[in-house]
Amino acid sequence: MKIAVLPGDGIGTEIVAEAVKVLKTLDLKFEMESALVGGAAYDAHGHPLPESTLKLAKEADAILFGAVGDWKYDKLDRPLRPEQAILGLRKNLGLFANFRPAICYEQLVGASSLKPELVAGLDILIIRELTGDIYFGQPRGRREAPDGEFKGAPEAFDTMRYTKPEIERIAHVAFQAARKRNKKVTSVDKANVLETFQFWKDTVIEVHAQYPDVALEHMYVDNAAMQLVKNPKAFDVVFTGNMFGDILSDEASMLTGSIGMLPSASLNSKNQGLYEPSHGSAPDIAGKGIANPLATILSAAMMLRFSLNQEEAAQRIEAAVQKVLAQGLRTGDIWSEGTTKVGTAQMGDAVVKALG
């Protein structure tokens, strides 16, 4: 088994180091090989996703990814910007199914910005389509407005699109995941305004015919954003497209206490996967040793479960994380009065110790 380790930029390097530490503590046989990605790869090789990094990722059984991006690259031409590395990996490897579980651990009920009773016991699964939608649709660009009130003025445009097979395959993923949980899917769309999402809704209804044992509800994304903070426990599987899933998963992270707690798995049809925290490179706190590494450590647990067939090891990591939280250790983002503030490496060390 081979794991490609791609730390990336900002806090990416700090949090991946902790997840690697945890993986090395397990008595498992796998090889790990690291490579540059994102801004770090652009600085060294002139491209955010060099051929050698892509080759390593393609050949690996699983990829452990940190985060990419920094404000200093924001003026580069888009194809050279760090974010193109993660988008390119997702597209090149066909990682269309993104799982983002939002679980509020008992010990962190007080860390959420919501009332404890709203988040205690929360366990929802966001399933986000990851290789389509407006993030990848063509054409896109800048031009002179071809018509309308401001005809001739400079304008920018993107294309929102989904093909039927793209919607069908992720709908099957959502319904099958729901069968292993509470048999309820909320499909989030904007069918009242967007043709793409009326098509999404129609296709989801068709696929649902094969899953009569799973309850399906539809919700517009604006309402879903509101319901997520009003009554989050009413959801079980939240299923949506690429952009809405991106936004709603950051929102849902705060139900768990912090974005530093939300792991993710991105899978293709061969169950090859990329595992990364749901957050970005956090340039505002990079280099300070204060980032929360738990989302990345929990992503490594998802990697053991989904791609490396090591369920027991995955559960060991998840139990170790809960044990450390029960000991009262907290990085700044989840700290509250009466708990002990620790840095990134101390948190990683504590998880390693709890594993023993």
Ligand X SMILES: CC(C)CC(=O)C(=O)O
Residues acting as catalytic residues: 135, 190, 222, 246, 250
Q: Which is nearer to ligand X, 83 or 129 (CB)?
A: 83
> Does residue number 276 form part of the binding site for Mg ion (CB under 5 A)?
no
> Does residue number 246 form part of the binding site for Mg ion (CB under 5 A)?
yes
> Does residue number 291 form part of the binding site for ligand NAI (CB under 6 A)?
yes
Polymer length in residues for the chain: 356
CA nearest 172: which of 203, 133, 130, 135? 203
Helix (H, G, I), strand (E, B) or coil at 100: strand
> Does residue number 67 form part of the binding site for ligand NAI (CB under 6 A)?
yes
Long-range contacts of 29-32, Cβ-Cβ distance < 8 Å, separation of 24 or more: 29/1, 30/1, 30/2, 30/3, 30/61, 30/308, 31/1, 31/2, 31/3, 32/2, 32/3, 32/5, 32/64
CA nearest 60: which of 35, 91, 85? 35
> Does residue number 292 form part of the binding site for ligand NAI (CB under 6 A)?
yes
> Does residue number 284 form part of the binding site for ligand NAI (CB under 6 A)?
yes
Contact 90, 266 (CB under 8 A): yes
Q: Which is nearer to ligand X, 8 or 232 (CB)?
A: 8
Give the containing element (helix H, strand E) for 116.
Answer: helix 116-119
Q: Closest separation between CB of residue 57 and ligand X, Å?
A: 16
Contact 15, 43 (CB under 8 A): no
- Residues marked as binding? 90, 100, 128, 222, 246, 250, 280-292
Q: Residue with the closest Cβ to ligand X? A: 83
Q: How many residues bind ligand X (CB under 6 A)?
A: 4
- Residues marked as binding for Mg(2+)? 222, 246, 250
Which stretch, 29-37, 124-132, 190-198, 238-246, contacts Mg ion (CB under 5 A)? 238-246
Residues 328-347 within binding reach of ligand X (CB under 6 A):
none
Q: What is the DSSP letter of 183?
A: S
User: Side-chain half-sphere of 14: how many Cα atoms within 13 Å?
Assistant: 22
> Does residue number 70 form part of the binding site for Mg ion (CB under 5 A)?
no
Which stretch, 94-102, 209-217, 279-287, 348-356, contacts ligand NAI (CB under 6 A)? 279-287
Residues 76-95 within binding reach of ligand NAI (CB under 6 A):
83, 86
**β partners of residue 125:** 101, 237
Query: Which listed residue (7, 50, 260, 263) binds ligand NAI by CB under 6 A?
Result: 260
Residues 310-329 within binding reach of Mg ion (CB under 5 A):
none
CA distance 38 to 51: 13
Q: What is the DSSP letter of 107?
A: G
What does 291 bind: ligand X, Mg ion, ligand NAI, none (CB cut-off 5 to 8 Å by kind)? ligand NAI
> 302-335 burial, b for 16+ CB within 10 Å, e for fewer?
bbbbbbbebeebbebbbebbebbbeeebbbbbbb
Q: What is the DSSP letter of 279?
A: S
Q: Closest separation between CB of residue 223 and ligand X, Å?
A: 21
> Does residue number 256 form part of the binding site for ligand X (CB under 6 A)?
no
> Does residue number 37 form part of the binding site for ligand NAI (CB under 6 A)?
no
Query: Which listed residue (129, 246, 318, 333) binds ligand X by CB under 6 A?
Result: 246
Binding site for ligand NAI (CB under 6 A): 11, 15, 67-70, 83, 86, 259-260, 276, 279-285, 291-292, 295, 333
Binding site for Mg ion (CB under 5 A): 246
Binding site for ligand X (CB under 6 A): 83, 86, 246, 278
